[in-house]
Amino acid sequence: MSKMSVSAAIREGMREEMQRDERVIQVGEDLGVMGSPFAITKGFLEEFGPNRVIETPISEGSFTGMAVGAAMRGIRPVVELMYNDFISVALDPVMNQAAKLRYMTGGQVTIPMVIRAPMGAGRRNAGQHSACLEALFTHIPGLKVVCPSSAADAKALIKASIRDDDPVIFLEHKLLYAKKEEVPDEEIVLPLGQANVLREGTDITILTWSRQVYFVQEAAEK
């Protein structure tokens, strides 16, 4: 077991997948020299080079659409949006293309891409950088939505998301980035769409995700 933050766990999960599969690429703003706004891709440019760590202009619709096209050709792009709020300017390639193409082609085309985005308030990032849009994404047929709550889950789920043949929206609460927990040294890839039972009881069932998990656990102890 190694203790690491949620942000480091996501970074290590993506690094391992890029080492494992040369089709995995990173696409987004400031991913290379800067290592992304929250340092999630720090060191990737030096390790994997500019052909796999692709810096883009500030045009979410354009580079998300580019990633959809790359996925159609067998590449496995991981797109980073600086904040999940900005997916509003990339909804066409996400909702009308990535989410639908498998079904429009009778399964002949798959879109193995991940869209990563920080979400949530609490860092004084103002109204256009603080939304939680997971409810919106879960109402778009064809998308899978992942909201990890711990470092171990974040690493295992980013690996599963990259290996999935359908588009995945991977949402990371900003206030969890620095939270440190034990992460297994052995490789773990968690199945998408399967709940983790953290505590068994007899009275009620609470379904939750992301940062809310810790508030629910605290309430359950009282």
Residues 117-167: tens digit of each pLDDT: 998 867 676 767 767 888 889 999 999 999 998 999 999 999 999 999 999
pLDDT on residue 25: 98
Using the predicted structure, report yes or no on whether residue 187 has a pLDDT greater than 80: yes
Catalogue the long-range contacts made by 67-74 (C-beta closer than 8 Å, 24 or more residues apart). Answer: 67/27, 67/93, 67/113, 68/93, 68/97, 68/98, 68/101, 68/111, 68/113, 70/25, 70/27, 70/113, 71/98, 71/110, 71/111, 71/112, 71/113, 71/167, 72/101, 72/109, 72/111, 74/23
pLDDT on residue 31: 92
Residues 53-99 pLDDT 10s: 999 999 999 999 999 999 999 999 999 999 888 888 999 999 999 99
Arithmetic mean of pLDDT, 204-222 = 80
Which residues neighbour 98 within 8 Å (Cβ) at sequence distance 6 or greater? 68, 71, 111, 113, 142, 143, 167
Whole-prediction pTM value?
0.91
Arithmetic mean of pLDDT, 169-198 = 91
pLDDT on residue 123: 63
Domains of the chain, with CATH numbers? 2-194 (3.40.50.970)
pLDDT on residue 104: 95
pLDDT on residue 213: 78
Average pLDDT value for the chain: 91
pLDDT on residue 204: 84
List the catalytic residues.
60, 129
pLDDT on residue 130: 66
Give the residue from 134, 116, 122 showing the smallest Cα distance to 209: 134
Arithmetic mean of pLDDT, 91-114 = 96
